[in-house]
Amino acid sequence: MWNARNLTLFGRVMIIKALRLSHIIHSASNLDVPVGTVGTLKKKLFNFIWRNKKDKIKRTGLYKDLEKGRIGMVDVDLMFKALRLAWIPRLMTARNRNWCTIPNHFFTRMGDLNVLLRCNYDTKYLEHIL
């Protein structure tokens, strides 16, 4: 429906941020996002922006803020990483809630979440966990 309208580049990015990504963020904040989904999502979003044509601006340029003279598109990879990291403060503040039981069980097997966050360790030893 939005492809039929004659929107500017800024307008198409605004539609993505307001209508599409809000639904995706809501779902991704509660579920794990499979690896292949990110590439498919980025492809569909950029196909909408460029109206199924070749990209005219580098994608890294689109991700920069409006204050720097760019478009202000959301970096989907970075967004999903931020949503995963948002669980850490929730786990730290809600220690004895029911939903914390399963993550706390796995963290106590490795020490504790506080210990893991404050340790100076090499991540190559945690590859089987990540």
Domain locations along the chain: 2-85, 87-126
Q: Please state, in angstroms and rounded to a whole number, the distance separating the CA atoms of residues 129 and 106.
A: 10
**Each residue's pLDDT tens digit in the chain (130 positions)?**
555 567 777 888 888 888 888 888 888 887 888 888 888 988 888 888 888 888 777 777 777 776 665 777 888 888 888 888 888 888 888 867 888 888 888 888 877 777 777 777 676 766 666 5
- 41/45 Cα distance (integer angstroms): 6
**What is the spatial distance between Cα 69 and Cα 49, in angstroms, rounded to a whole number?**
18
Q: Are 47 and 2 in contact (CB under 8 A)?
A: no
**How far is Cα 84 from Cα 92, in angstroms, rounded to an integer?**
14
